[in-house]
Amino acid sequence: MNYKYETSRLSLKVLSDQPEHAKQVLDFYYRNRLEFEKYEPTRPENFYTENYHRTLLHCEQQLFLKSKGFRYWIYEKTDPDFIIGTVSFHNIIRSEFQRCSMGYKLDRAFWRQGITKEAISFLLPHIFGELHLHRVEAYVMPENLNSIYLLESLGFQREGLCRQSAKIQGRWADHLLFAILRKDMAEITLPCTSSQNYLS
């Protein structure tokens, strides 16, 4: 996996723990806090600080280097300093499982433009092809209809309901389990586009 990829409209980057990157990430979360927090656990008290996100970016970089987790931040090519979303692949399990979980977020101002679908459609063949995974899973709260539609449009199949599977804002919440298999992908060939294998 490379540190940076480009699609027709987007730059997908693994960020370092430089102060400017932490500021960009903090701004992304802060301006979308009301939307994101509905679907996530209660934030730590220091979540909305630059120091918190510098530490988190450092941890994510170490996971990337060990091939244990991959978070790509989404930028428009026309605005390389303004984060509009993120896609992550985490909880990578090897041996007889060969699977991982996928998460994603997008700035509300950029909804319904096909941005998250463009990013995930590009990254999935890399995840399957380079990491030799068999299965990618995603968990979604039943009321998150936009996320359900996105996953279905990408070819993920709904497999069932995980009862009270995560504590969200202080209460145990059900999640739907979606998954896509390597064989479900129409083509595993890596997309032809530019990439970089170093941090910028």
**CATH code of 26's domain:** 3.40.630.30
At 180 the three-state DSSP class reads: strand
On whether residue 136 sits in a domain, the answer given is yes
The answer on pLDDT for 86 being more than 50 is: yes
As a whole number of angstroms, the distance between CA 178 and CA 160 comes to 8
On whether residue 12 sits in a domain, the answer given is yes
On whether residue 9 sits in a domain, the answer given is yes
The answer on pLDDT for 106 being more than 50 is: yes
Average pLDDT over residues 81-101: 97
On whether residue 199 sits in a domain, the answer given is no
On whether residue 198 sits in a domain, the answer given is no
Q: What is the pLDDT of residues 146-177, one digit of tens each?
A: 999 999 999 999 999 999 999 999 999 999 99
Contact predicate 136/121, CB 8 Å? no
Which of 100-114, 153-167, 176-190 has the weakest average pLDDT?
176-190
Placement of tokens 């430089």 in the chain: 18
Q: What is the pLDDT of residues 28-73, one digit of tens each?
A: 999 999 999 999 999 999 999 999 999 999 999 999 999 999 999 9
Contact predicate 83/24, CB 8 Å? yes
Structural domain span for residue 125: 4-193
As a whole number of angstroms, the distance between CA 14 and CA 4 comes to 6
Give 137's strand partners: 101, 179
Number of domains in the chain: 1
On whether residue 179 sits in a domain, the answer given is yes
As a whole number of angstroms, the distance between CA 129 and CA 176 comes to 26
Letter for the amino acid at 34?
L
How high is the pLDDT of residue 98? 95
Q: Would you place residue 198 in the very low, low, confident or very high pLDDT band (cuts 50, 70, 90)?
A: very low
On whether residue 200 sits in a domain, the answer given is no
How high is the pLDDT of residue 185? 81
How high is the pLDDT of residue 186? 61
At 200 the three-state DSSP class reads: coil
Q: What is the pLDDT of residues 126-146, one digit of tens each?
A: 999 999 999 999 999 999 999
The answer on pLDDT for 115 being more than 70 is: yes
Give 103's strand partners: 88
Angle CA 197–93–165, to nearest 5: 115
On whether residue 41 sits in a domain, the answer given is yes
